[in-house]
A and B are shown apart, each in its own frame.
Chain A
Amino acid sequence: MAVCIAVIAKENYPLYIRSTPTENELKFHYMVHTSLDVVDEKISAMGKALVDQRELYLGLLYPTEDYKVYGYVTNSKVKFVMVVDSSNTALRDNEIRSMFRKLHNSYTDVMCNPFYNPGDRIQSRWALLPVSASSPVQVGPTSCVRSSPGGPYSCVRSSPAGPLITW
């Protein structure tokens, strides 16, 4: 489960930022903001790659003691940043990827809203809810980890795509 989801505009101001332990919102704001450094770095490193071959998923931006920060950038340079609790070892790369994909889909839906001006803050409380709320754990393909306790250490392989939420 992601503890914080952020959608950041091309100009690096937050379009949407929400964290689940709301009492520590500020920390996540700082964290997401700082992570933009790495996002920028990765984007500029990626800039040489061909556009159509570009991987939107930026991977782990940086770990902290308690959290892991992952990044994703759309072709329009809108950044998604997701903060995951480090103790949540169930979430591996594939899960993060699929969460980002879902977030991207939700964001696309928001952009399709004719009443939404691109560049405005996303006010809707529920707009990106499927990802930011507990859904990745419920819906995502991560529970397979627990189904094999004590299995081989290479056990964390998950089906790449969980059922997508349609709403």
Chain B
Amino acid sequence: MEKDTEVYKATVKDDLTKWQNVLKAHSSVDWLIVIVENDAKKKNKTNILPRTSIVDKIRNDFCNKQSDRCVVLSDPLKDSSRTQESWNAFLTKLRTLLLMSFTKNLGKFEDDMRTLREKRTEPGWSFCEYFMVQEELAFVFEMLQQFEDALVQYDELDALFSQYVVNFGAGDGANWLTFFCQPVKSWNGLILRKPIDMEKRESIQRREATLLDLRSYLFSRQCTLLLFLQRPWEVAQRALELLHNCVQELKLLEVSVPPGALDCWVFLSCLEVLQRIEGCCDRAQIDSNIAHTVGLWSYATEKLKSLGYLCGLVSEKGPNSEDLNRTVDLLAGLGAERPETANTAQSPYKKLKEALSSVEAFEKHYLDLSHATIEMYTSIGRIRSAKFVGKDLAEFYMRKKAPQKAEIYLQGALKNYLAEGWALPITHTRKQLAECQKHLGQIENYLQTSSLLASDHHLTEEERKHFCQEILDFASQPSDNPGHKIVLPMQSFAQLRDLHFDPSNAVVHVGGVLCIEITMYSQMPVPVHVEQIVVNVHFSIEKNNYRKTAEWLTKHKTSNGIINFPPETAPFPVSQNSLPALELYEMFERSPSDNSLNTTGIICRNVHMLLRRQESSSSLEMPSGVALEEGAHVLRCSHVTLEPGANQITFRTQAKEPGTYTLRQLCASVGSVWFVLPHIYPIVQYDVYSQEPQLHVEPLADSLLAGIPQKVKFTVTTGHYTIKNGDSLQLSNAEAMLILCQAESRAMVYSNTREQSSDAALRIQSSDKVTSISLPVAPAYHVIEFELEVLSLPSAPALGGESDMLGMAEPHRKHKDKQKTGHCMVTTDHKVSIDCPWSIYSTVIALTFSVPFRTTHALLSSGTRKYVQVCVQNLSELDFQLSDSYLVDTSDSTDLQLVPLNTQSQQPIYSKQSVFFVWELKWTEEPPPSLHCRFSVGFSPASEEQLSISLKPYTYEFKVENFFTLYNVKAEIFPPSGMEYCRTGSLCSLEVLITRLSDLLEVDKDEALTESDEHFSTKLMYEVVDNSSNWAVCGKSCGVISMPVAARATHRVHMEVMPLFAGYLPLPDVRLFKYLPHHSAHSSQLDADSWIENDSLSVDKHGDDQPDSSSLKSRGSVHSACSSEHKGLPMPRLQALPAGQVFNSSSGTQVLVIPSQDDHVLEVSVT
């Protein structure tokens, strides 16, 4: 111990001082003194003052301020806790101090380095020098295993250099950079197999490195560090960036590079990087990280390709001497192979050298690379990239004249571009494909591609013309096989834009001409002469379909005749864009018997559009042979020149068979090339119909009026019949209807579509029985229209019955007249039988004429004077002018005069108004029991001008019977005796005076007449009735009297009546009846007749049997009078006297009745 101290004092202290001085001389501040103590000694010295220990001494001597610079390591070789502790303390101290030292030193280094960097704008600054400085730092970090930090240094250098290059490019050049701009003489690629490429490092140090050298070295260091850091994929990524960057930098610095040199460098570098990565990764890792490396593969492939093209290795003939020279130059630039790869069989160097050595070797290497790249791209789903590489490969094959190998790649790429709708790549690839197909001799495919290209607007006009010409050239070649047709899709050649029918409803009759005008938009750049354009038509007959009848078709099909076709959406991909929308419709199927719902559902009407094949290219199906057959229905248009753009093509067809024709296909033939549009959609149809000839006759007005000329329209629909010269309509004349022949009547001929085609004068010849109308000549399916004037003679109504007193005579009509209800006009039907030239059967046409007037007559009496009143009522809508009214007695009684009391000879009769005529009957001798009259009045339409024909007057015949007044009835009411006026409630006397006005007349001779002693008498019954209940008849209101048949014989009847009201009261009615005895034989017969039936016919018969019997009306009242005794015993019968035979002279007279005095009620009745 003591010894130790002494030793220390003697020698160690000096040594330490010396060492410290040396350190100071080197200005090193990093030191540590370690004292090794022995454990055994320590134990004894526990009580020794610390000051005296060596440690203290050393601390005292050397570590005056840094006491931590001295550590004690006690018993280092023993295994004890104390030893362990001291070791730990020592190591911690050492580590701390080391770190401090490094920090200080590196910090200083970095400061210096930064200072150096800041001087970079100074003229003498050198990047290489600085590079070495910073690399030293990197080396330090690398040695310290601080790869990340080391990498940062290189990255900083990289960035700095890049920035300089960029700035240089921007015009801010640094002097030292010009050094890197020397021409590239060596392009041997990256060297990544050595950790440090000392060769290159030295060249940098010597400032002799080229840009590529610097970059290569920098990258090799980065690569080494990245691999240390287990980041091989970053190497791949950075390598690609580096390679691109270098190429750019060389360009930017305008460094002269021999052609191909860079390609060599890039190729070698790519392979070197890939091999380096492969060297440190296993297969699985590589496979799962293809995405990172495939870029390098593709880049290498690309570069090898360009080298191949450059060195003439891709041409068919192989390289020429110039190419060979270039190859030699390139190989020279590679230099000798590095020793580290010399033994590797697949080194990039060897590969490149071999690839450039011969055409075959190049092909092998290029194909290897390409296939590998395509495979990799495909495996990671980069289909587009794979196709793109494939296209390069196809190009290569094409250069090698191996189109059969190129085709698959081109087709694949084209399909991809088509699917995604990339127009320019499509065009370009198609162009390549066209060349390929041409070489392969795939005529059909080539022509199809050519047609697509000729219509491609992305190509220049010349190119399009070229491809168009290719088609035309082929088409014009004389074919060795004349029947052979090349069928191509129409779309690329021309597009069907629209279609127009004429007639526009697309309906035509048999034999008619149908025009179909289509607009074809030619896609070709030049006018193309087309031998023929054919539309294949499908013919179908839909029988029993009312929609296909001529009438329905001509009336209901009202389209405008233009069908537009949707343009092909070729440039879009076959995604949802090109698909049409679903056209869904509800569908109900009902049971035909009870109309109940059987099935229901939804139909998609455009399934064929939606479900068709999704391939847009080469999806042409061969049109069926049937469609191209000559025998099928076709529309043809020959020798058409299709100009570029829209062309109008007109097909003209003559309809043959009736049915529905559907346009199916459109073909255009250019020589042996047929362009076919396989389906025409939307569906285009036209209909052909056939029609029977028809004749229609209809009045022009709502109804025909009898008596005046009326116009009737004749319409002849010719249908399939052609009206020849001499064809005529033969009208058999109806007896009461005249056909008025007018010289100027004309017939119009219309076509079926209502276009007037001609008009012709109508020749009408009439004979007694037949009127012949010669029809103008008209072709089939035309309409002839003409008007004829017809005149229905006013029907003379039959004998009017004996008219009632002011009653309406029931008009008796001819049996074919119809009586209509209401105040409608009486109508007359005239049937005309017409013989048409097209038929052996006659057409019967009924024309109904209405009589515009209704006439009634009435017999008016004034004592024995008689008047006949005729009322004419105008029922029509027209106004008429009446003239020359006559009433004549048809029985020619000489002593009978009809004196007209009408003042005006002309009289208008307005619509719905009436006109009355009155005549007085005058006779000198005994009047006839009955009078037959005929009323006639001329009439003409009031508005019209003079008619060409004279119209027949309107006549009305009627019969007046028993018109002579036999009895005069006079009634008188007297107030009770002693009273001046009648009073209500008091009885008054009614005196009825019945006076016979004539002697025995013919009319009196009936069964009521009794004869005794030359005196005749008849039985009459009177009856007093007060219908208005003004009077109460007291006692007997009726009685039978025996009336002597002699002039001025009078019968007087007294009765008591009581007025019920006050005021001027009309007298009660007095009725007079003939009282017929019951035992009359006639009576029983009449009853028997009544039993039969009282319909009009039987009554008529009866009337015929009994010429002297009364009218229907009077019989009716008899009937009712005796109805109570119908089934009982025979009873006397009552017969009302005809109105003309009784004159009530007191009718209309009134009696003043004053109210009774105690009557305070005043009743006012207003009627």
Contact = CB atoms under 8 A, between A and B. Distances in A.
Interface of A: 11-14, 25-26, 29-30, 33-34, 36-38, 40-41, 62-66, 86-87, 89, 119, 121, 146, 149-150, 153-155
25 contacts: A11-B576, A13-B573, A29-B422, A29-B424, A33-B417, A34-B384, A37-B377, A37-B383, A37-B384, A37-B385, A40-B381, A41-B291, A41-B380, A63-B240, A65-B243, A65-B244, A65-B247, A66-B248, A87-B248, A87-B251, A146-B170, A150-B120, A150-B121, A150-B174, A153-B159
Nearest to B249: A87
Closest 9 CB pairs of A and B: A13-B421, A37-B382, A149-B172, A29-B424, A153-B163, A11-B575, A12-B420, A89-B166, A153-B159
A11 B382 contact: no
Given A119-B577, A153-B159, A14 B428 contact: no
B428 A26 contact: yes
Contacts of B811: none
Nearest to A44: B381
B333 interface: no
A33 B420 contact: yes
B422 A33 contact: yes
Contacts of B166: 89
Contacts of A29: 422, 424-425
B218 to A, nearest CB: 14
Contacts of B417: 33
B577 A86 contact: no
Contacts of A36: 384, 420
Contacts of A64: 244
Given A13-B575, A37-B385, 5 more contacts: A13-B420, A13-B422, A36-B384, A37-B382, A63-B244
Given A37-B383, A41-B382, A153-B156, A87 B252 contact: yes
Contacts of A40: 381
Contact of B170 (A121, A149, A154): A149
A24 to B, nearest CB: 11
B428 to A, nearest CB: 5
Nearest to A67: B244
Interface string B924-936: 0000000000000
A65 B384 contact: no
A128 to B, nearest CB: 18
B886 interface: no
A65 B241 CA distance: 9
A149 B243 CA distance: 25
Contacts, number: 86
A45 B169 CA distance: 38
B860 to A, nearest CB: 90
A148 to B, nearest CB: 10
Nearest to B166: A89
Contacts of B572: 13
A110 B575 CA distance: 22
Interface string B265-294: 000000000000000000000000001000
A86 B163 contact: no
A38 B295 CA distance: 11
A41 B576 CA distance: 23
Contact of A41 (B163, B381, B424): B381
Nearest to B172: A149
Interface in B379-418: 380-385, 388, 417
B295 A30 contact: no
Contacts of B243: 65
B320 interface: no
A150 B167 contact: yes
B160 interface: yes
A66 B160 CA distance: 22
Nearest to A31: B388
A30 B424 CA distance: 8
A150 B248 contact: no
A142 to B, nearest CB: 12
Interface in B159-193: 159-160, 162-163, 166-167, 169-170, 172, 174
Contacts of A119: 577
Nearest to B383: A37
Given A89-B166, A150-B167, A33 B425 contact: yes
Contacts of A13: 420-422, 572-573, 575
B423 to A, nearest CB: 8
A34 B159 contact: no
B380 to A, nearest CB: 8
Given A33-B417, A149-B172, A65 B248 contact: yes
A80 to B, nearest CB: 16
Contacts of B156: 153
A86 B576 CA distance: 37
Contact of B381 (A37, A63, A86): A37
Interface in B217-236: none
Contacts of B571: 121
